[in-house]
Amino acid sequence: MKIITRHWGKINPLKIDSYIRQRGYEALQKAVREMDPKSVIDEVKKSGLRGRGGAGFPTGEKWEIAAREKSPEKYFICNLDESEPGTYKDRLIAEKNPHQVIEGLLIGAYAVGAKKAYIYINGRYAEQAEVLQIALDQAREKEFVGSGILGSAADVEISIHQGAGAYICGEETALLNSIEGKRGEPRLKPLFPPVSGLFGKPTIVNNAETLANLPYIIRHGAQNYAEIGSKTSPGTKLFLLHGAVKNPGFFEAPLGIGLRELIFAKEYGGGMKSGKEFWFAQAGGASGRLVPSGKLDQVLTYDNCEYPLGSGSVLVVDKTEDIKDYLFSWADFFHRESCGKCVPCREGTYRLWEIAKRIRNGDIRERDRENVEDILWTLGNTTFCPLGKFASVAWSDAMKMFPDKIFK
Amino acid sequence: MNIQKILLRFGPKAENLLAALREIQKENGYIGEKESKQVAEYFGISEAQAYSAASFYDLLETGKPVKKIIRVCSGGVCVSERSLEIIRQVERMLHIELDNDAHPKYKLETMSCVGRCDRGPVMEIDGKIFEGVRVEMVGEILKDYI
């Protein structure tokens, strides 16, 4: 079952007609001509679609909150600021089939009544931004974008907003600040963006992969979509496999697939590289938990609170590797990307990074071990936004799973 | 470089600020205090706001770059592809240390994921990205920049 990748390689991403020949933009026509905004939202609610950015919030319910707001000005934002280590799914979506995201974005904006939409793209994705701009210009020519979409009363203007290198801008409120020309620091919640977001107006921020599901849902109906994948997390998901597997790369699989199947099945990872023995997997990029071999029967859904699937990236680590290298990698990333707004995160990630370097160099001090526990607790419980918590996740797991390999 | 000329390409609205800063970065090489002042006047915001935005992002510089910056990705996937050995090789060849400012001409840093994990390990010099870097290739890559 393919939804996201269904047209990849078959269509020319630079030509809108090639997407239209695959019945592209039919869902948009159906939405604006045959459905009112409320029935679009109802359809998405019934489909059970959940946000693909990692948190898995039900998309239809998010839309409903913004749709209820009486503000004449609303915004809709496609979050393409992907920068989680090990994650490049949104980059693929943008370069292989940009129109699918644009169509999803238009449907969403129509449903909540937003006249202005943005695609916030990672500042390092210059080529993808260009592909999207070309796609956007073509869609405007066809009257899919702009005022009076396809002769209806709906107006949606879209512009592309390039970031400038900041992981935290993927957090929705930091992203809003960034569009407003401020430092990309997160805001206090509540109020949540669907009530008060960009320039204080109701705003929906949806991940690019979430939006890419919408054309399918509107065209084939919520019932059809809800039957794919797991009951509480329907649909398919792009998974990225890395590390010591035979076939690393991207795979579209139904949600609810087991981690073991993803790594070992022939059509996905194909098992371990020859001569390599499984040690642990990390699901969800640098923010993800470590999964030992005994827990591989975990299914990947948004309900799985023990091992969240996050962005859908899975790194498989074999027994020849050194955990100290990874401790450094995680700490290095989060200390660099901490925005500096709150003290526990700014200081905690920095000290953890210093300790990670000492652990690698083998000059670990007695008090470091105690401090690590302290720092991890502080990061996990007291930071302003989830970045600090994410910084503690893999470290905490590693401390529990392999203390002897870290402090010896 | 005429900053005013660059600014005139953008409407003075808050949502265009980051795009304008990116453009100044591209053509001027950095956004210092002088540039921030002009940006602030044009957009009708405080100098502090213009400078604080410019100083926040990785891809914007607030001072004229004086050193060649060599960056190697330290994300988990690149590490599993041996990027830490590439860092060691650069350190050996240029006699520098990661994150150390001492050398007058070069600085070695790690960088965050650039979304090319399928083609790692990744390194960057002067804004140019090298993919699938192996330890044996480091000398060849550095030769063109040193």
**Best of A329, A335, A339, A341 to mutate (most B CBs within 10 Å, chain B):** A329
B63 inside domain: no
Residue A286: closest CA among chain B residues belongs to which residue?
B76
- Quick check: A87 and B74 CB within 8 A? no
User: How many Å lie between the alpha carbon of A404 and the closest alpha carbon of chain B?
Assistant: 21
Determine the pLDDT at residue B53: 96
- Across the A:B interface, residue pairs with CB atoms under 8 Å apart total 126
Q: Closest Cα partner for A112 from A53, A69, A169? A: A69
Average pLDDT of span A197-220: 97
Say if residue A354's pLDDT is above 90.
yes
Say if residue A408's pLDDT is above 80.
no
Q: Does B40 touch chain A (CB under 8 A)?
A: no
DSSP character string of A249-270: EEEEEETT-BHHHHHHSTTTT-
User: How many Å lie between the alpha carbon of A118 and the closest alpha carbon of chain B?
Assistant: 10
- Quick check: A326 and B58 CB within 8 A? no
Determine the pLDDT at residue B137: 95
Say if residue B78's pLDDT is above 90.
yes
Residue A89: closest CA among chain B residues belongs to which residue?
B115
Tokens of A80: 């393409």
Rounded to 10°, the helix A366-382/A343-361 angle is 150
Give the one of B45, B56, B76 whose C-beta lies nearest to A286's C-beta: B76
Cβ partners under 8 Å of residue A116, min gap 6: A73, A74, A75, A76, A156, A157, A159
Tell me the Cα Rg of chain B. Answer: 18
N-term to C-term CA, chain A: 48
B59 inside domain: no
On whether both B35 and B72 belong to a single domain, the answer is no
Say if residue A130's pLDDT is above 80.
yes
Give the one of B112, B114, B116 whose C-beta lies nearest to A336's C-beta: B112
Give the one of B53, B84, B115 whose C-beta lies nearest to A181's C-beta: B53
Give the one of A123, A243, A285 whose C-beta lies nearest to B59's C-beta: A123
Determine the pLDDT at residue A306: 87
On whether both B78 and B138 belong to a single domain, the answer is yes
Q: Does B60 touch chain A (CB under 8 A)?
A: yes
Say if residue A74's pLDDT is above 90.
yes
CATH class belonging to A240-317: alpha beta
pLDDT band at A304 (very low <50, low <70, confident <90, very high): confident
Whether residue A46 contacts residue A60, with contact meaning beta carbons closer than 8 Å, is answered with yes
Tell me the C-alpha distance between A228 and A221, whole Å: 12
Give the one of B16, B76, B113 whose C-beta lies nearest to A326's C-beta: B76
Tell me the C-alpha distance between A55 and A49, whole Å: 12
Say if residue A274's pLDDT is above 70.
yes
User: How many Å lie between the alpha carbon of A37 and the closest alpha carbon of chain B?
Assistant: 27
pLDDT in tens, A329-344: 999 999 999 999 999 9
Say if residue B145's pLDDT is above 90.
no
On whether both B83 and B127 belong to a single domain, the answer is yes
Cβ partners under 8 Å of residue A316, min gap 6: A241, A242, A243, A244, A245, A263, A269, A272, A278, A281
B60 inside domain: no
Average pLDDT of span B34-62: 96
Topology, domain A16-226: Rossmann fold (3.40.50)
Domain that holds residue B37: 3-54
On whether both B72 and B43 belong to a single domain, the answer is no
Determine the pLDDT at residue B1: 63
- Quick check: A183 and B76 CB within 8 A? no
User: How many Å lie between the alpha carbon of A250 and the closest alpha carbon of chain B?
Assistant: 9
- Quick check: B58 and A166 CB within 8 A? yes
User: How many Å lie between the alpha carbon of A373 and the closest alpha carbon of chain B?
Assistant: 22
Q: Closest Cα partner for A218 from A42, A93, A75, A8? A: A42
pLDDT band at A128 (very low <50, low <70, confident <90, very high): very high
B107 inside domain: yes
Residue B82 belongs to a domain with what CATH number?
3.40.30.10
Q: What is the CATH number of domain A323-406?
A: 1.20.1440.230
Per-residue CA distances from A237 to A3, A52, A331, B87 (Å): 9, 8, 28, 34
On whether both B43 and B74 belong to a single domain, the answer is no
Q: Closest Cα partner for A312 from B24, B117, B129, B98? A: B117
User: How many Å lie between the alpha carbon of B110 and the closest alpha carbon of chain A?
Assistant: 8
On whether both B75 and B138 belong to a single domain, the answer is yes
On whether both B121 and B74 belong to a single domain, the answer is yes
Indicate the domain borders of chain A.
Answer: 16-226, 240-317, 323-406
Domain boundary among B30, B54, B78: B54
- % pLDDT > 70, chain A: 100
Average pLDDT over chain B reads 94
Domain count of chain B?
A: 2
B9 inside domain: yes
Determine the pLDDT at residue B82: 95
Average pLDDT of span A123-145: 96
Per-residue CA distances from B112 to A380, A383, B116 (Å): 22, 21, 11
On whether both B72 and B128 belong to a single domain, the answer is yes
Average pLDDT of span B113-142: 92
Give the one of A182, A185, A242 whose C-beta lies nearest to B117's C-beta: A242
Average pLDDT over chain A reads 95
**Best of A96, A124, A319 to mutate (most B CBs within 10 Å, chain B):** A124
On whether both B85 and B19 belong to a single domain, the answer is no
pLDDT in tens, A379-406: 999 999 999 999 999 999 999 999 999 9
Say if residue A305's pLDDT is above 80.
no
Least confident of A127-141, A254-268, A291-305: A291-305
Q: Does B121 touch chain A (CB under 8 A)?
A: no
B42 inside domain: yes
Beta bridge partners of residue A80, listed in sequence order: A121
Domain boundary among B11, B32, B54: B54
